[in-house]
């Protein structure tokens, strides 16, 4: 039974049982405390917690999930996957335990001919929470299971909560027994891989408070509406129904594994370590493809970092399997072919998605090449120093700074006959993870508990009137101070205000929030921010400027009209620039993000190379021609499918409801889905002045522009600057480029002559420096300041020449100089000195400490510096003292 068929049977069954079928939410979670949708219940949290009224009494879905907290287990067990799909059925006060258990048992054990899954009841075990006698009795009655196949377990496994105050309840898990060939007898309580959990039924019936840990909290009562949250692992059911040993061998994953086998020339099933690597590749390639399909792109932070890590682990695994060249064009194509039946977007958008993957692989392959050079140098220095183990901090630097995997460091070190101080490396990694975990916890603590918005949201959605009005009379529905509900807020306090209606725009879709005021009888509030903390609710963060505001009072939201107008100009300009980009570069220049605020816009788009000056000028001209043509700006609210049929562009990765707002500028020339505010006609934008174009990651570019009066002021400032240059240089405007090029060439020539003069002057000091050599212990030492120098290279060249003239004596040369107001010191030693124990790197560190800085290098030549030029004599004295010791 194919994976897609399993999913279809599941949805068909629950649709027949009256459930609303809900499409999967994005892997990018709306929950601000989560990077990804980590479980099937995440999109339903607002309904389960009661913050937002559920739009249906019961639902079913197939939810895409990403979970990376146990990434090290991927490939090692039959069930751990980074990307996985959860089949879920949900009840929001409709049915409860009896209904959930009845549905689950019927679907699992019913005949395949009837559209069900056909599991043999004798292969299924059940666990319940140790005190849940009701669930135990229902399993006996509904499923006819004997007592020994219903196991009671504790809170750590069979009680669900979010880990914060809110809904919670006992759960019941269903396991499949794979048989004695896979482990010991004894049921799920043995925690053995023989018993695979396939379905978890959560009976969400209590409200908890004072949460001290996952298993330590206070139950404060039953929920007004008892909910059902279930999750069946699609991949787990698939590998059981397909008769394979693990999820990596199912129909949606195995093609990638097989392609990796083909590329490596190795055999799957022959060597355990290789098998783990094949499975990592299969999982991570599919996970990366699905993340890309939901708008995540590789970067060094947040979601992008997780995606980059997955891709690089796959590349590393292929490298350890003996493949050093590019593999993603083969691997990602195999994953596309396996996944597009269930998710057509991976086929429809494959050219764009794969471009990110291929670019990331090429970048990392270059990183591996550069890291190999750095590692080779580190290994050589370790050997030269007589060591047998690469320092842990060296390995960590390679991993943390250069992205060089520790597995490859271990492998290359072993080939060189060295080991790695893995304990020190692991300590540094643990410290880094601890810092990251502390940062994450801090961020989570700073977020308000969304349940505080439940009562406000229950009164209905906030009505936004700002498309047509700049002032709207309303009333205060709620107040929050420090995340807690209050009845009033006084002068000086920062508070959140919930109104029934508002003219103030909440930040979204790249458009920043409005500025403005909220005024009422006896109070005035300065609006600092406007956000949508939960779906359908607008919250205003304000500072009370005068008076006192209270619940139930009349309040008028007042938009800063000038700021709104400038913001609208920027937002509409963004649409024009997008259309101009597509006109110039083609449809593949797809939007990947934007920001609009008064007088400024930036636009990120998919493109693999910098734009030429001619292209930037063309884009700017097309956009400004659209301004000149005074195109009409119209908006329509219509069904999402109807808007797409009309060719409306949607921001990739953005979430849209069934009904959308479509903005046209000049008809179909610029037609986008957008909830922002806009000008009435394009001439109102004024001027669009492109002021920047840059890279924002692999295959992503960014253009920035000033708009309206800000664009005019920028151009006026440039005009003034040009006027000053023409006057100073006595050259007409059109001659400025040639004149500046001439001056630059003359300056470079002069600098070259000065550098040559200074270099000669330094060289002229050679005889005196050699003559000034003196004995320090068993060493012949030259220690002197050269005065000022053009570069450290000049000082280094003199030091090496002095060392050469000192012959075979144990020579140590320490020369200092002042460069751009700061001291440097170069230390050079010859073979005889090094055999006697003088190491340039150690000596330069000694000198640099006196200079108030640092340095280092090889044993033969090293460089350091600091901040105190006057300390150079003391630095030389410190070198002499070190040689005498």
Task: Residue 168: name the closest of 226, 127, 82, 106 by CA.
Answer: 226
* Long-range CB contacts (within 8 A, 24+) of 652-658: 652/295, 652/349, 652/590, 652/591, 652/592, 653/26, 653/28, 653/294, 653/295, 653/296, 653/592, 654/295, 654/509, 655/25, 655/26, 655/30
Radius of gyration of the chain (CA): 34
Which residue shows structure tokens 């920047």? 692
Q: Which residues pair with 549 in a beta bridge?
A: 489
**Rounded Cα–Cα distance for residues 857 and 522 (Å):** 71
Which phi and psi (to 5°) does residue 809 adopt? -60, 155
Which residue shows structure tokens 């959140």? 496
Per the CB < 8 A criterion, the answer to whether 640 and 656 are in contact is yes
Backbone conformation region of residue 504, classed left if phi is above 0, alpha if psi is from -120 to 50, else beta: beta
Sequential DSSP letters for 737-765: HHHHHHHHHHHHHHHHHHHHHHHHHHHTT
**Rounded Cα–Cα distance for residues 597 and 600 (Å):** 5
Strands 633-639 and 659-665: antiparallel
Q: In the chain, how long is the greatest CA-to-CA distance?
A: 104
Which residue shows structure tokens 């030029």? 869
**Rounded Cα–Cα distance for residues 593 and 655 (Å):** 13
678 is in an annotated binding site: yes
* Six token digits for residue 331: 């691997």
571 is in an annotated binding site: yes
Q: Where are the alpha helices (DSSP H) in 21-180?
A: 45-48, 97-109, 133-138, 155-158
Task: Give the distance from CA 743 to its chain's centroid.
Answer: 46
Which residue shows structure tokens 């707002």? 661
**Rounded Cα–Cα distance for residues 758 and 747 (Å):** 16
Residue ranges of the annotated binding site are 571, 575, 674, 678
Residue ranges of the annotated binding site for Zn(2+) are 571, 575, 674, 678
């Amino acid at each position: 039974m194919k994976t897609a068929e399993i999913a279809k049977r599941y949805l068909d069954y629950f649709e027949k049982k009256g459930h609303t079928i809900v499409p999967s939410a994005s892997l990018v979670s709306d929950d601000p405390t989560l990077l990804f949708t980590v479980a099937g219940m995440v999109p339903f949290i607002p309904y389960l917690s009661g913050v937002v009224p559920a739009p249906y009494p019961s639902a079913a879905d197939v939810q895409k999930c990403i979970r990376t907290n146990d990434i090290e287990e991927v490939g090692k067990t039959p069930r751990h996957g980074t990307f996985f799909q959860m089949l879920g059925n949900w009840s929001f006060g409709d049915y409860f335990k009896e209904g959930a258990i009845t549905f689950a048992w019927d679907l699992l054990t019913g005949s395949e001919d009837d559209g069900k899954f056909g599991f043999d009841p004798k292969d299924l075990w059940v666990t319940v929470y140790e005190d849940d006698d009701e669930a135990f009795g229902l399993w006996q009655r509904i499923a006819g299971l004997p007592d020994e196949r219903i196991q009671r377990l504790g809170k750590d496994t069979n009680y669900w909560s979010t880990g914060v105050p809110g809904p919670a309840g006992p759960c019941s898990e269903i396991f499949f027994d794979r048989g004695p060939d896979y482990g010991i007898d004894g049921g799920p309580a043995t925690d053995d891989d023989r018993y695979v959990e396939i379905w978890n039924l959560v009976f969400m019936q209590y409200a908890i408070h004072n949460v001290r840990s996952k298993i330590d909290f206070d139950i404060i009562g039953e929920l007004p509406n008892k909910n059902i949250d279930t999750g069946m692992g699609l991949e787990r059911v698939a590998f059981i129904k397909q008769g394979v040993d693990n999820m990596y061998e199912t129909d949606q994953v195995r093609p990638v594994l097989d392609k990796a086998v083909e590329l490596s020339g190795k055999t799957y099933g022959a060597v355990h370590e290789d098998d783990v690597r094949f499975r990592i590749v299969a999982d991570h390639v599919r996970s990366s493809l699905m993340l890309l399909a939901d708008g995540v792109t590789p970067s060094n932070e947040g979601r992008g970092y997780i995606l980059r890590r997955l891709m690089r682990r796959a590349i590393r695994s292929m490298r350890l399997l003996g493949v050093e060249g590019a593999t993603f064009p083969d691997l990602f194509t195999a994953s596309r072919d396996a996944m597009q039946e269930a998710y057509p977007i991976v086929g429809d958008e494959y050219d764009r998605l794969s471009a990110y993957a291929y670019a990331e692989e090429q970048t990392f392959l270059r990183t591996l090449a550069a890291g190999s050079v750095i590692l080779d140098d580190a290994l050589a220095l370790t050997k030269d120093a007589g060591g047998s183990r690469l320092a842990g901090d060296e390995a960590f630097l390679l991993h943390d700074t250069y992205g060089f995997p520790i597995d490859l460091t271990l492998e290359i070190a072993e080939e060189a006959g060295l080991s790695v101080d893995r304990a020190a490396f692991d300590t540094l990694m643990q410290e880094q993870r601890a810092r990251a975990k502390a940062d994450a916890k801090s961020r989570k603590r700073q977020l308000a508990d969304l349940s505080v918005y439940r009562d406000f949201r229950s009164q209905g959605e906030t009505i936004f009137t700002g498309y047509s009005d700049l002032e709207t009379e309303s009333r205060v529905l709620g107040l929050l101070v420090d995340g807690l509900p209050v009845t009033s807020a006084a002068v000086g306090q920062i508070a959140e205000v919930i109104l029934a209606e508002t003219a103030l725009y909440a930040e979204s879709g790249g458009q920043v929030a409005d500025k403005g005021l909220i005024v009422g009888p006896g109070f005035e509030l300065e609006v600092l921010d406007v956000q949508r903390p939960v779906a359908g609710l607008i919250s205003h963060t304000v500072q009370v400027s005068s008076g006192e505001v209270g619940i139930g009072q009349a309040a008028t939201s007042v938009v800063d009209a000038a700021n709104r107008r400038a913001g609208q100009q920027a937002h509409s300009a963004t649409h024009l620039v997008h259309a101009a980009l597509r006109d110039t570069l083609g449809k593949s220049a797809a939007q990947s993000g934007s920001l609009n605020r008064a007088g400024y816009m930036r636009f990120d788009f998919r493109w693999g190379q910098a734009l030429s000056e001619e292209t930037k000028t063309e884009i700017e001209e097309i956009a400004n021609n659209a301004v000149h043509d005074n195109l009409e700006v119209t908006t329509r609210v219509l069904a999402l499918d109807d808007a797409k049929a009309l060719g409306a562009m949607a921001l990739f990765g953005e979430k849209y409801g069934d009904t959308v707002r479509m903005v046209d500028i000049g008809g179909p020339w610029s037609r986008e889905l957008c909830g922002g505010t806009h000008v009435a006609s394009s001439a109102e934008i004024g001027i669009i002045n492109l002021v920047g174009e840059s890279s924002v990651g692999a295959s992503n570019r960014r253009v920035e522009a000033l708009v309206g009066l800000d664009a005019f002021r920028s151009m006026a400032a440039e005009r003034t600057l040009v006027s000053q240059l023409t006057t100073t240089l006595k050259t007409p405007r059109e001659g400025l480029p040639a004149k500046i090029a001439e001056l630059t060439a003359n300056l470079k020539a002069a600098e070259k002559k000065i550098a040559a003069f200074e270099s000669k002057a330094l060289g002229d000091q050679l005889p005196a420096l050699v003559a000034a050599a003196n004995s320090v212990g068993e060493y012949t030492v030259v220690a002197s300041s050269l005065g000022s120098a053009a570069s450290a290279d000049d000082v280094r060249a003199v030091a090496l020449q002095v060392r050469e003239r000192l012959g075979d004596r144990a020579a140590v040369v320490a020369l200092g100089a002042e460069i751009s107001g700061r001291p440097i010191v170069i230390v050079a030693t010859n073979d005889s000195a090094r055999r006697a124990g003088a190491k340039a790197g150690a000596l330069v560190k000694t000198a640099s400490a006196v200079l108030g800085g640092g340095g280092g290098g090889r044993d033969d030549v090293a460089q350091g510096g600091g901040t105190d030029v006057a300390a150079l004599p003391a630095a030389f004295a410190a070198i002499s003292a070190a040689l005498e010791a």
